Chain A
Amino acid sequence: MKAEIGWLCILFPFIGAFLSLPLSKVHPKLRDYGSVFFSFLAASLSLLLIPYLFRPTKLPMESTFIWLTSPIELNMGILIDPLSIVMANIVAVISFVIMVYSIGYMKGDSSLTRWWMWMNLFIGSMLLLVLSNNLLFIFIGWKMVGLCSYGLIGFYYRDEKKYWIGGPSPTKYCTPSHAGLKALIVTSSGDVLLLGGIFIIYSYSGTLNLLNLYETSSFWIPEMAHSPGMILLVSMLLIAGSFGKSAQFPFHEWLPEAMAGPGPVSALIHAATMVKSGVYLIARFIPIFFYGYWIAGCYEASFFFIAIAWAGGFTAFLAATQGMVAIELKKALAYSTMSQIGYMMLALGISGFSPPTLIEGLTSGIFHLISHALFKASLFLCAGSIIHTVQSIYMTHMGSLRKSMPFTWIFMFIATLSLMGVPPFPGFWSKDAILVSSLKAYHYPLFFLALITVAITSFYSIRFIGMVFYGKKSKHIENLAPKGRPFLEAHSTMIGACGFLSLLIIVFGLLGFTTEHWLKEGFKVSMETIKLPVQPDTNSLIFHLFIPLFSIISIMIGMVPAYFLYILRRVDPKEILEKYSFIKALYKFFWNRWYIDRFYYMFFVDGMNKFFTSIPKYIENPLDQFFHEIIPSLPERLYCSGGIILSGKSKKEWERGTSKEGQKPATGIHLGFTLLTALFFIALFLIIMFIWG
């Protein structure tokens, strides 16, 4: 049992998904706990892989079996290496925690069988994605998680008003079914481009196996470089796929609406796991493009890293600005997710900026992925508990909740500190690592962009904490309370799940530096195994001394105004908006999501709508008329013309003489089709007779 553990990891959630329906027929509780049990098995098995992280020289391990033998042999396999171990554990462990949380959150829902089915199917698919050893099965997992995301965002498919997202009026609302469709189409747009990239890679390399791709890169990358622009094209296609799934600019607009799904879905799929699959995939492709640029000397390969770093940095900034003005709690967290994934992308992009930053960038990106998965899952679960209790998605309908929901407040506060990057929480260590690597690459513009985003992150984090837990009770809460709905803490399984994640955040925070070291060692050995040159770490100490200082200053810059505005409530933010027209304009710009979403709707939805509705009018109907009216009417026309010529009458006179009253216009077409068909048969008969003769 080595790599085979990976198979079982994938298999158990799928079994859970298929057993949900039969178990529900036995007893609903058996279905609920059974489903959670299968995710527990996956989590336990993935934990068994962790010891290998400390023995990276024993890695990578593979286990394969033949899937296809013709037209070429294709294997299905598992790859156990530091990256897949980290990802599998994040997916399986956090999924299990969220499954436990779901027991309370989804209690009483009439579609629980469907819920458990989708959730387990998602966990299995996600594990398939991160544990597969080849691009085909990675892509299968990739497509399946997209489908599960669609099913779970649109879980409340009846579109009752209470599940709408967006608003308040005049801002438009979005129904769950619309949000699901939007997510599916936007992410699928990336998927098809990714597919194109994979096919081109296969056309040159002849393999889909990741390790084979790395090993044979010295053959196929130079060959690909012979076609100018090909490496650049492949880079862009692969990036598009990854950005689609990870909601990065310009494919980012689906994620805010994806919050229409139930709370656990937002936590699991749209914060902790699926949206990270793009980061994972980019990390998988790094060795290929690193080889292409730094060893094979293909200049085009450098664009892969430049595009990722800049698009990541830009998304981090763009999404953070939108997070500053959001009034829906989960949407604020969704913007934050996009922003934090932007950080990860930035770090991964930096890994290709210079040979010494390869390990640094890769480690910091993946390290931030781990810490973000923990604190964002916790934040979303807490948000789910709050929305569940308050029965509103708007933060303006909340306020002063820390007294009635003390546990949720503590857990959310811990996670928020980690999001802000406050020491000693894991967010501090991972963000610090990203800043260090960007500075080590001597890429100052990206470094400052990241630093500014730290300040903005700090602002919106304190803002949502302040709006939810501090200040006065909102009218909404006051209106609800007399109706006999006292605000109680969430269900015990929900508190337990959030508490467990908070504990993990603290533990990881305390082990932050060590975790980074383990990861670095693991990736170093991985890169050496595939013969990539790993250069020693330089100037680490100086960087690690100064960067935290910069980071903490940035946190303070963002935190202080937010603290005065949303916790102490010294000034009403609305007054500031009224007073300063520039800030108001900026607010409007951010509130309208930089007008990107509006542009997409105008161009892709309305534009396409106009385009395809004009097709019947301008192409299909004229073609149809030609084939089904003009051609079949030819015999009739010939008959008319013949009749006119032979009778010597005028056209009108002849028509008057032959037409019958009440004759249907279709008769001519009937006659036409019949005659033409008969003509075909006669012609055929003659041809056959001729040849036979």
Chain B
Amino acid sequence: MIKMIPYILLQIVIVPMMVSLSIFLIRSKLSKRAGWIVVITLLYTTTLLCIAGIRVYQGEVICEEYPVGPKIRFNLLADGLSLPVALIINLCCVVLAFYSIPYIKHRIEAIYGKVEKRTWLSYNTRFFSLYLFFSTGFMGISFATNLVVMYFFMEILTVIPLYFIMAQFGYSDFMERSKVALMCLFWGVAGATFFLIGILYAYIQIRSFEISILSNLAGNSSTIWFILLILLGLLIKLAIFPFHVWMPWVHAEHPTCIAGLLAVYANIAAYVMVRVLILPLFDDFKVFNVPIMILALVTMVYGSLLTLAQNDVKRFCACSTISQISYSILGLGAQTLWSIEGGLLFFLSHILGKTIFFSTAGILVYTTGIRDMDEMGGLASKMPITALLWIIGAMSLSAFPPLLSFPSEWLMFTGIFIYGTNGSWIVLLIPMIGVSAIILTITYTFWSAKRIFFGPLKPNLAKEEIKDPPLTMSVPLLLLGFLSAFLGLYPKPLMDLLHSVIKIIL
């Protein structure tokens, strides 16, 4: 039965895009239903992903081939690596689609004021038709087997949903919004350009864009340039120090309903790094182990300190993303079986945690209209569910059991320490500093909880309208928290899937 669904991967990638275009074309007839259509579409693709997941877990590798040109084949591959990544990302998309329904209504009112119904519908459908491109972009990157196809989907993400949603639905005034949108586009394009130059460099060497052929580059002295170019592109996407400067701006000014997806946008580069660099060029990549780990360490610590310095709740979340993403990179940099699998698992746990954390920050802004944490305080008594969500997010970022981040951090650091103990004392310092940096995460996450939710209620917050948000915003986030807890208690299926692919490095 589950094998009978045709073009399953193509559907997962294309259906959101087609629905998006449909929403745009028939927007006048949709009334307020655009959000729910998006939800249903994403639930459909999630179901397809689950079905594909069962097949992959049973040992099958799903590969679909669609030739689109003489040199580029639009092939899609679902294996133990791409499938869990795609599934968890799509779940985040579903949750945030639910969340966006009330949120975007509020956002349109906040930006454009009381507008007539037709105009409002126009904005609403515009947002949701753009939103679906996130799913298409992420699914495309996850399943791509071809470097140009991967690049294409990376660019789709940068240009269509990110730029346009930011420019139209972001915070601040129009000038500032469009500046930040351009900034986001610039950094996205800059990263993708290095990536593309790397691809072209590889093409000159191996006359193919297929990722599976990249292993032909192994052992070649010029491969180092290919790795360097791709790495540079990915480090920009990952917001590694000093290329992190776009992250606080972009995250802080984007509408919060997509902020969780921005974390995915940045972090998915970790997946690309494994797929394009580590797996095919395992030995050649070792040259970069120590530099990558040092960069990751610097970013971890710097990002945490920067987070501690923030008062703006949205910038706070943005800076924490800078720090958190580099944990996965530290793991990937160590290049041991444990650390790569742990690093990937950490990426997945981070996007779950960050979706909860960022969206809760959005709830705070949505409800109180305040972004400055110094003006908040004592909100737990008025918004207990929001406080619970924030604590779940804090626990996830700080890797507290039973959430998924705990086993992922455990596995990742096991691998990093194995790497460290096999080297000199200086090398052992890397995991030691890395593991100690967790304390900074615990400090900023739980300190923010104290600042926002505990203590006496600030007089400016003693209003009747300040209360927990609608269930469509909070319940999906709680479910995401439960999912993280479930996977944290029972990470075996995820680990088995990842291991089925990563084990080839042994």
A130 to B296 CA separation, bound complex (whole angstroms): 36
A664 to B174 CA separation, bound complex (whole angstroms): 12
Q: Which of B22-30, B353-361, B433-441 contacts A (4 or more CB under 8 A)?
A: B433-441
Q: Is the Cβ of B309 less than 8 Å from the Cβ of A136?
A: no
Q: Is the Cβ of A615 less than 8 Å from the Cβ of B309?
A: yes
A620 at the interface (CB under 8 A from B): yes
A residues 575-634 near B (Cβ < 8 Å) are: 608, 611-613, 615-616, 619-620, 623-624, 627-628, 632
Convert B393-431 into 0s and 1s, putting 1 for each residue whose CB lies closer than 8 angstroms to a CB of A: 001001011100011001101101110111001000001
- List of A residues within 8 angstroms of B183 by Cβ: 628, 673
Q: What is the chain B residue whose CB lies nearest that of A177?
A: B454
A502 to chain B, nearest CB (A): 37
Instruction: Output the residue of B378, B417, B492 with the most chain A CB within 10 A.
Output: B417
Convert B375-404 into 0s and 1s, putting 1 for each residue whose CB lies closer than 8 angstroms to a CB of A: 000101100000000000001001011100
Interface of B is mostly: helix
Convert A162-179 into 0s and 1s, putting 1 for each residue whose CB lies closer than 8 angstroms to a CB of B: 000000000000010110
A677-B186 CB under 8 A given contacts A143-B400, A192-B435: yes
A207 to B107 CA separation, bound complex (whole angstroms): 53
Q: Is the Cβ of A159 less than 8 Å from the Cβ of B454?
A: yes
- List of B residues within 8 angstroms of A299 by Cβ: none
- List of B residues within 8 angstroms of A563 by Cβ: none
Q: Is the Cβ of A687 less than 8 Å from the Cβ of B197?
A: yes
Instruction: Output the residue of B401, B443, B453, B496 with the most chain A CB within 10 A.
Output: B401
Q: Which of B42-50, B188-196, B258-266, B285-293 contacts A (4 or more CB under 8 A)?
A: B188-196
Q: Is the Cβ of A612 less than 8 Å from the Cβ of B414?
A: no
Q: Which of B341, B378, B381, B438 contacts A192 (CB 8 A)?
A: B438
Q: Is the Cβ of B456 less than 8 Å from the Cβ of A185?
A: no
A612-B455 CB under 8 A given contacts A184-B446, A670-B179, A676-B186: no
A158-B305 CB under 8 A given contacts A70-B495, A688-B200: no
B306 at the interface (CB under 8 A from A): yes
Q: Is the Cβ of B417 less than 8 Å from the Cβ of A199?
A: yes
Instruction: Output the residue of A677, A680, A688 with the most chain B CB within 10 A.
Output: A677
A62 to B186 CA separation, bound complex (whole angstroms): 59
Q: Is the Cβ of A623 less than 8 Å from the Cβ of B414?
A: no
A613 to B374 CA separation, bound complex (whole angstroms): 15
B178 at the interface (CB under 8 A from A): yes
A623-B245 CB under 8 A given contacts A196-B432, A202-B414: yes
Q: What is the chain A residue whose CB lies nearest that of B163?
A: A677
Q: Which of B381, B410, B446, B492 contacts A181 (CB 8 A)?
A: B446
A159 to B203 CA separation, bound complex (whole angstroms): 64
B503 at the interface (CB under 8 A from A): yes
A185-B446 CB under 8 A given contacts A140-B406, A192-B438, A196-B435: yes
A204 to B186 CA separation, bound complex (whole angstroms): 47
A493 at the interface (CB under 8 A from B): no
Q: Is the Cβ of B454 less than 8 Å from the Cβ of A185?
A: no
A681 at the interface (CB under 8 A from B): yes
- List of B residues within 8 angstroms of A175 by Cβ: 455
Q: Is the Cβ of A203 less than 8 Å from the Cβ of B406?
A: no
8 tightest A-B contacts by CB? A70-B499, A199-B417, A177-B454, A673-B182, A203-B421, A612-B308, A157-B454, A612-B305
A540 at the interface (CB under 8 A from B): no
A197 to chain B, nearest CB (A): 10
The 10 sampled A-B contact pairs (Cβ below 8 Å) are A68-B495, A70-B503, A71-B499, A143-B401, A159-B456, A177-B450, A195-B438, A200-B417, A230-B421, A623-B242
Q: What is the chain B residue whose CB lies nearest that of A190?
A: B439
Instruction: A157-B453, A199-B431 given; name 6 further pairs at CB < 8 Å.
Output: A70-B496, A143-B406, A184-B446, A193-B436, A612-B309, A691-B204
B112 at the interface (CB under 8 A from A): no
B109 at the interface (CB under 8 A from A): no
A669 to B178 CA separation, bound complex (whole angstroms): 11
- List of B residues within 8 angstroms of A200 by Cβ: 417, 421
A150 at the interface (CB under 8 A from B): yes
A495 to B450 CA separation, bound complex (whole angstroms): 35
A195 to B437 CA separation, bound complex (whole angstroms): 12
A691 to B197 CA separation, bound complex (whole angstroms): 11
- List of A residues within 8 angstroms of B98 by Cβ: none
A68 to B407 CA separation, bound complex (whole angstroms): 10
Convert A539-555 into 0s and 1s, putting 1 for each residue whose CB lies closer than 8 angstroms to a CB of B: 00000000000000000
- List of A residues within 8 angstroms of B338 by Cβ: 71-72
Q: Is the Cβ of A666 less than 8 Å from the Cβ of B401?
A: no
Q: Is the Cβ of B435 less than 8 Å from the Cβ of A195?
A: yes
- List of A residues within 8 angstroms of B68 by Cβ: none
A515 at the interface (CB under 8 A from B): no
Q: Is the Cβ of B197 less than 8 Å from the Cβ of A188?
A: no
Q: Which of A159, A185, A611 contacts B305 (CB 8 A)?
A: A611
Q: Which residues of B contact A (CB under 8 A)?
A: 175-176, 178-179, 182-183, 185-186, 189-190, 193, 196-197, 200, 203-204, 242, 245-246, 249, 302, 305-306, 308-309, 337-338, 341, 378, 380-381, 395, 398, 400-402, 406-407, 410-411, 413-414, 416-418, 420-422, 425, 431-432, 435-436, 438-439, 442-443, 446-447, 450, 453-457, 491-492, 495-496, 498-499, 502-503
Q: Is the Cβ of B496 less than 8 Å from the Cβ of A185?
A: no
B391 to chain A, nearest CB (A): 9
A341 to B197 CA separation, bound complex (whole angstroms): 63
- List of A residues within 8 angstroms of B439 by Cβ: 185, 188-189, 192
A69 to B435 CA separation, bound complex (whole angstroms): 24
Q: Is the Cβ of B245 less than 8 Å from the Cβ of A199?
A: no
Q: Is the Cβ of A624 less than 8 Å from the Cβ of B414?
A: no
Instruction: Output the residue of A230, A611, A620, A670 with the most chain B CB within 10 A.
Output: A620
Q: Is the Cβ of A691 less than 8 Å from the Cβ of B417?
A: no
Instruction: Output the residue of A188, A199, A615 with the most chain B CB within 10 A.
Output: A199
Q: Is the Cβ of A615 less than 8 Å from the Cβ of B302?
A: yes
- List of A residues within 8 angstroms of B380 by Cβ: 157-158
- List of A residues within 8 angstroms of B502 by Cβ: 71
Q: Is the Cβ of A71 less than 8 Å from the Cβ of B305?
A: no
Q: Is the Cβ of B245 less than 8 Å from the Cβ of A673?
A: no
Q: Which of A184, A185, A203 contacts B417 (CB 8 A)?
A: A203
A68 to B408 CA separation, bound complex (whole angstroms): 12
- List of B residues within 8 angstroms of A670 by Cβ: 175, 178-179, 182
A447 to chain B, nearest CB (A): 36
Q: Is the Cβ of A687 less than 8 Å from the Cβ of B406?
A: no
Q: Which of B190, B442, B498 contacts A680 (CB 8 A)?
A: B190
Q: Is the Cβ of B413 less than 8 Å from the Cβ of A199?
A: yes
A229 to B337 CA separation, bound complex (whole angstroms): 27
A198 to chain B, nearest CB (A): 9
A625 to chain B, nearest CB (A): 9
A666 to B203 CA separation, bound complex (whole angstroms): 40
A residues 403-434 near B (Cβ < 8 Å) are: none
- List of B residues within 8 angstroms of A66 by Cβ: 492
Q: What is the chain B residue whose CB lies nearest that of A157?
A: B454
Instruction: Output the residue of A68, A227, A616, A623 with the most chain B CB within 10 A.
Output: A68
Q: Is the Cβ of B200 less than 8 Å from the Cβ of A674?
A: no
Q: Is the Cβ of B436 less than 8 Å from the Cβ of A669?
A: no
A392 to B308 CA separation, bound complex (whole angstroms): 36
A166 to B398 CA separation, bound complex (whole angstroms): 29
Q: Is the Cβ of A666 less than 8 Å from the Cβ of B179?
A: yes
Q: Is the Cβ of A691 less than 8 Å from the Cβ of B203?
A: yes
A154 to B450 CA separation, bound complex (whole angstroms): 10
- List of B residues within 8 angstroms of A227 by Cβ: 421
A residues 621-657 near B (Cβ < 8 Å) are: 623-624, 627-628, 632
Q: Is the Cβ of B185 less than 8 Å from the Cβ of A677?
A: yes
A481 at the interface (CB under 8 A from B): no
A69-B496 CB under 8 A given contacts A188-B439, A192-B438, A687-B200: yes
A180 to B178 CA separation, bound complex (whole angstroms): 43
A50 at the interface (CB under 8 A from B): no
A283 at the interface (CB under 8 A from B): no
A72 to B178 CA separation, bound complex (whole angstroms): 50
- List of B residues within 8 angstroms of A611 by Cβ: 305
- List of B residues within 8 angstroms of A188 by Cβ: 398, 438-439, 442
Q: Is the Cβ of B306 less than 8 Å from the Cβ of A615?
A: yes
